Structure 1
Amino acid sequence: MTSTREPAFGAADGEGGATIAQIAELAGVSVATVSKVVNGRSEVAVETRAMVETVIREHGYRRQKKINRAALIELVVHELEGAYAMEVIKGVDRVASEHHLALVLTELHGRHTPGRTWIEGVLARRPTGVITVFSGPTPEQCDQLNSRGIPFVLVDPTGEPGHEFPSVGTSNWSGGLSATRHLLDLGHRRIAVITGPPHALSSRARLDGYRTALDTTGVPVDPELVRRGDFNIADGLTHTRDLLRLADPPTAVFAFNDSMALGVYQAAHEAGLRIPADLSVVGFDDLPPAQWAIPALTTVRQPLRDMAAAATDIVVAIANGEPPAQQRLVLATELVVRASTARPRS
């Protein structure tokens, strides 16, 4: 005979869960202490805070029927440098302004997970919602946001997004496929790629698209032509320098973002090569500077501004009690052919 023990309280869904007084009793602390933790106040010892958060995770937190939210959208980006972040900010601001919401911007300075001070600030501000771009909260931070009724959406997540929280991405595999097919159709067979970091879902998907295009054409993948980058200009420069020193160098380079493509341009210039006469180049993103490169860059358009706007629409809808129509929204990419690609020399 087996028996199951019912949890003391219901789930943290805003109706079940434990009250602040019940959480205080379970954790062995005062009601005031629990209130401070729930509201993101900083004057609580680390050990005490962790104990209270554990109780909240285990038993849930019975929130007030009406959640008093500030007219704010919290936007978290891994770094602010470059046009990528500006496209995201413009997309979020477009929708936030329609709903009279202000932006609070957090830069992670290249990291992909916010720190403890960030989550404390968010809990204290009680924003309408949180959007994280190419980054994401830790599981514990997710629990904290969820238990306080603060919706959040992932944009261009670095890892495989779960089904618990909404995310907005783009068709990276199709983008990698179309970029590589374009070069193959021009007659290129020595096509190098400079990828993003292996932990990035977008990079892995683009690489899979590249490999699929080669495989369906009967062109073997040459490991010498696959170089790992980190989505910055310096990687495009360094890897292309090395690629051009090969005994059988590539006739084309597919860089997994526009920044690395600019590094490819610089390396070609140093080597006395002309683009596209001597080397074809394809990027990814189609950020505004791509069309002003000399020659204008052929690239895969990733609709960053629309992705950010869609994420903001979802956050606002959830805050208004409307569940999202789908948890994973994927917007289409588009190959934009400009002047940086041509047939290889015979």
Structure 2
Amino acid sequence: MGVTIGDVAAHAGVSKTTVSRVLNGKGEINKNTVLKVQQAIAELDYVPSARALAFARGSTRTVGMLVPDLAWVYSGIVQSVVDTLEAEGFGLRMLSVSRGEESLRSLGLKVAAKSFDGLLVIEPEGALEYITALHEASLPIVLIDDRFRRPGFPFVATTNREGGAQAARHLLESGRRRPLVITGPEAYGCTRDRLGGFVDAYAAAGIEIDPRCIVWGDFQFESSRCSVERALADGVEFDSVFAHNDPSAAGVLAALHAAGREIPRDVAVVGFDDVELASYTYPALTTIRQPMREMGEAAALLLLEHVRRSPEAAASRIIPTSLVIRGSTQQPHSP
């Protein structure tokens, strides 16, 4: 059995009524008493029923958004969420887990105090179990781009596997038969999906990718640059590179330029995500567009449906990727 309001009251040395008043923000309560109750909630990891709190206090017209440390990567999602919520008359409260367990305890206190009506999550590592517990306690939650596995609550994701296949088909149509793949972190579901779709598309064309041409990466510019340098030094033959995100692809371009390889004549390069950087590399980067803004809008609207207890609320949504062709795979036409 989970922690109850009675457990919190006993731990804080107050009555259950006092705990309830702190949770619901009702009545005048001594500041020291409030602090004792909040400390008890944090120490016991108490997760109150969001449904009961909503009934007691009504809507805050505010949505929380939990983001990982590298929130800038998801700026398109965040801006779309802000725009969508604003149009619906809701505000946004940004949260992070940069301090690990301390941040999760702080999140628990904010849920306990009913600081927001629902939670959007760009999944921070190690927090899924805690977030699931909040959902099971009736807090409306929507996960954006789950990287590991399908959660037990609503999510908005994209077609990572099909995106990998789109990259492969484009390279195959361009006559590229010897690709080098710079992946993302091996533990990420999106990495496995992007690699699986890419490898399967080449297999369907009768081409088995040399295991030496699959390099596990970390989504970072510098490591990708070094990976390409090592491949060149080791004499690995490749006529194209599929990098699992755009910063990695930028690192690939840097290494190829330094080695005197002409892009795309000697080596074609495809990235993934279509972040702003992709338009400003030289040459501009062909990439698989992950629909960040559409995902943010869909997630915000889906969460509001669940906050409003709409009977038509969808379980989840999948928004497809698309290929964006630029100069890193396509030679400019001569005048």
For the criterion TM > 0.5, the same-fold answer is: yes
Shift of the alpha carbon at 1:26? Answer: 12
| Counterpart in the other structure of 1:287 | 275
8 Å contact kept, 2:41–2:109? no
* 2:60 is equivalent to residue 70 of structure 1: yes
* 2:243 is equivalent to residue 252 of structure 1: no
Question: Is the partner of 1:193 in helix, strand or coil?
Answer: strand
Shift of the alpha carbon at 1:334? Answer: 0.5
- The change in CA–CA distance for 1:102 and 1:287 in structure 2 (over 3 A counts) is same
8 Å contact kept, 1:79–1:85? no
> In the aligned structure 1, how far is the partner of 2:99 from the partner of 2:109?
20
| Counterpart in the other structure of 1:4 | none
> In the aligned structure 1, how far is the partner of 2:101 from the partner of 2:10?
36
| Counterpart in the other structure of 1:179 | 167
8 Å contact kept, 2:305–2:313? no
8 Å contact kept, 2:12–2:40? no
| Counterpart in the other structure of 1:79 | 69
Deviations 1:105-145 (A, max 9, x none): 23445989963223323433521221111437442343235
Deviations 1:288-339 (A, max 9, x none): 2212222111100110111011100011111111156432311011111111
Amino acid at match of 1:157: D
- The change in CA–CA distance for 1:38 and 1:246 in structure 2 (over 3 A counts) is farther
Instruction: Give the alignment partner of residue 296 of structure 1, picking from 281, 284, 308.
Output: 284
CA RMSD of aligned residues (A): 3.4
* 2:144 is equivalent to residue 155 of structure 1: yes
| Counterpart in the other structure of 1:190 | 178
| Counterpart in the other structure of 1:35 | 20
1:48-127 equivalence runs, <5 A: 51=44, 53=46, 62-63=52-53, 65-80=55-70, 82=72, 84-109=73-98, 115-127=104-116
8 Å contact kept, 2:12–2:37? no
8 Å contact kept, 1:155–1:169? yes
* 2:197 is equivalent to residue 212 of structure 1: no
8 Å contact kept, 2:8–2:41? no
1:190-339 equivalence runs, <5 A: 190-323=178-311, 325-339=313-327
8 Å contact kept, 2:287–2:325? yes
Amino acid at match of 2:282: I
Which structure has more helix as a fraction of its residues?
A: 2
Structure 1 unmatched ranges of 5 or more: 1-6, 13-17
- The change in CA–CA distance for 1:64 and 1:309 in structure 2 (over 3 A counts) is closer
> In the aligned structure 2, how far is the partner of 1:120 from the partner of 1:22?
16
Question: Is the partner of 1:210 in helix, strand or coil?
Answer: helix
> In the aligned structure 1, how far is the partner of 2:275 from the partner of 2:208?
31
> In the aligned structure 1, how far is the partner of 2:148 from the partner of 2:209?
25
Deviations 1:255-292 (A, max 9, x none): 11111111111111211222112211000111122122
Question: Is the partner of 1:314 in helix, strand or coil?
Answer: helix
| Counterpart in the other structure of 1:140 | 130
> In the aligned structure 2, how far is the partner of 1:333 from the partner of 1:195?
18
Question: Is the partner of 1:70 in helix, strand or coil?
Answer: coil
Question: Is the partner of 1:150 in helix, strand or coil?
Answer: coil
- The change in CA–CA distance for 1:158 and 1:42 in structure 2 (over 3 A counts) is farther
- The change in CA–CA distance for 1:145 and 1:160 in structure 2 (over 3 A counts) is closer
More displaced stretch, 40-49 vs 290-299: 40-49
Question: Is the partner of 2:196 in helix, strand or coil?
Answer: helix
Shift of the alpha carbon at 1:104? Answer: 1.6
> In the aligned structure 2, how far is the partner of 1:39 from the partner of 1:275?
61
Identity of aligned residues (%): 31
Question: Is the partner of 1:157 in helix, strand or coil?
Answer: coil
- The change in CA–CA distance for 1:247 and 1:141 in structure 2 (over 3 A counts) is closer
- The change in CA–CA distance for 1:237 and 1:37 in structure 2 (over 3 A counts) is farther
Deviations 1:47-69 (A, max 9, x none): 77565738x79xx9855635423
Question: Is the partner of 1:115 in helix, strand or coil?
Answer: helix
